[in-house]
Structure 1
Amino acid sequence: MRLSQHLCGMAALSLALATQGHAAAANTQTDCLFAWAESHAPELFAPAGAVSGQSGSYYYRHYPSLSTYLAVSSADSHVYYLGPASNGAVQDIGSLAFWVGQAQCPASSSATYPLVDTGQRKFYGNTAELGSAPATATAAFYGEDAQFAGRQLSYQNNGDGTITDLHTGLMWVAARGSKVTWDAAVAGASSSRVGGYSDWRMPTIKELYSLIDFNGKSAATAASSVPYIDTRYFEIVFGDATGGRVIDGQDWSATKYVSTTMNGDVTVFGVNFIDGRIKGYPQYTPGSRTGSTLYVRYVRGNSNYGVNQLSANGDGTITDHATGLMWAQTDSGVAKNWQDALAWVQAQNSANAFGHNDWRMPNAKELQSIVDYSRSPATTQSAALSPLFTATAITNEGGTTDYPWYWASTTHLDSNGAVYVAFGRALGWMRLPGSSSYSLLDVHGAGAQRSDPKSGNVSNYLLGKDARGQSAYGLGPQGDVVRIANFVRLVRDAP
């Protein structure tokens, strides 16, 4: 429903907001609502020159160019409008809760880590898009990403080279810039003055991942590719424009891997907004001290974003008060293909697991939110996960103790595979220089996000043999190990 249409149908009330009050302190929830109104009904709320203030119980925003007010009353938690669309009379246009829901604003101003949806709105089977949404909980593929709508991606162009995320409270640099070394990227944050601000920083991997949009799809050419980021707001450069592969458009984060990848490479996590993955990238060109170069997009605001506030509830569940999500403390215990994993979640609901029947498989952003990037199998002998959780130990393809990859409900459109997050080593089979056999390496780091086929047999992905003469099955330039069967962890909205 458009805001302007709703206004025309409401009765006028007697409220005088014509006298401006003093400037008010920011209110995260109502400021988010005001920004959403400006974005969705600019004919009513032109942001240029707008001023926020307080008058009695009303927190308002005044739009002088249109002689318009939009206000929220703390007395009744309703939203009010005064302006030309109401013929100069004040209108009660409904409850704050209703409009916050329409705007997909954080549930409360205390939400320090509000997760933004993946953007995925279509339904997918094992190999292709489904014709319609699964209708019941017993239907095949019920419970995938599009079944649940979260806070939809919503940005504001501030007109000064910056973009504000209306949910997370993070402000971003819109321009792509040039590729730089990680050391130069870190150093450059303090000297950046984009938009007139001097408090820019390198984004953590969780901050950076908040921007990913899973309507993206990479292809052989830039013309046939769709970036995994909203290019109406953020500039993106395909790799072939700078002499590389189409997908070579990766961004550095501030998050270093606590272990190493490949053959002992010092590694930094980054997001590739062209192929839709988190991977660990070498800080230096392998075999030298020359810095590898990627892009960087600076961020400011909400310095608590990405910081979990976990507590065990004593009933087999864990609540993250920062995101508002409740998690099962244990995982599925066994690996399953994607369709069976979705069905397993519904079986847990039928069994009222941990006293609840509204569990779901987490989407990609929900799942990545609980990665603990201070942990890894090699450094803490654990999954990259808070010790409040338990993770089933597995034996990986090289015969080493490791930890699972967990399915997300999100489909990766490049191959119609399903997204997973590696809470153990993100393994790949590499044929090292001078060797005719493949070696199994942690190529992307615990905490990486990649994708696996939803069904089939790993024998379809034969690369060759390892030094023991065993078959190596993998995909892509780093020979990403193919599993097809991965683990599951339940999530639901916390009360």
Structure 2
Amino acid sequence: MEEQVRKKCKFIDNGDGTVSDAVHGLMWLKRDTWLEKGRLITWHESQEFARELNQRKFAGYSNWRIPTASEAKLLFDPEVTNTDMEGCEIHLDYVFTEGCGFTTWTSESRGAKAAMGYDLRSDFEFWLAKENDGFPSAVRLVRNIVLERDPDAPPRIVDNKDGTLTDNDTGLMWKANDSFIELDKWVSWSEGKTWIKTLNDSQFAGHTDWRMPTRKEVQSIYDPSHSVTDNYGETVYLPEGFTAGSGLTCWTKTLHKTDLSLAIRFQFYNGDYKWHKIGLRSHGVRAVRTNRPKKGSPEGEN
């Protein structure tokens, strides 16, 4: 199945230093950091490179980022060959500039010290220390191709001036600050539930139906077109209007069907989600509620 997806992938040279993958809605840099800098770089240098390109709006865009591991895999095609920095065969479409690095950093992290790299010679994933100068990597940045919003449409996120935000696209109301901003610590899944209970007990913003989001709900506020900084100064992707300084991740109410010790946590730095033990104090949580209209008021709550 994965091989079939790859075969459908068509890369288009946009003539401005970028390459589009219209099948998956992605745009890649035509040249990686090896070609740009003449050296391999650490994971944190990759983040800085993305910030630099976003500041100068390379090719007109400001949402360049490190690819996820699954996105990096979309570059690999066993039926095509290119040439890497060492003159070796690399399975990367020839639309990309030859002489590039044969690996790329990904946004997949293992704690604060390690990140995943991906090898385009052999379709291989591996872990590297983020600051290991002895085994650095290149990176090929990517961005999501985002459709322009109708300028006459109302703003997506509305600040209700009471510590809440309304998402006009989904009808959901979110607490503007997540648990990390409020508590200044990571929480387990149960502690996240307890924090939300305190919001309901205190009738935060006049409501008593705050809850943990589902995976799909929290995924709906992942916005690769808009970046803010998290509590450690790293880049996360949330719609305009959400507060900077929040956690990288968010617990969801989605529990594993056969193992109730696992719940999904969502990652705002790359849009991925994974199963995690609910007892781990390693994530934040965002409180959400369904914004129901008041009786006799079809316009909904203010």
TM score, norm. by length of structure 2: 0.48
Largest Rg, 1 or 2: 1
Specify which structure has the bigger relative contact order, considering alpha-carbon pairs within 8 angstroms and separated by 6 or more residues. Answer: 2
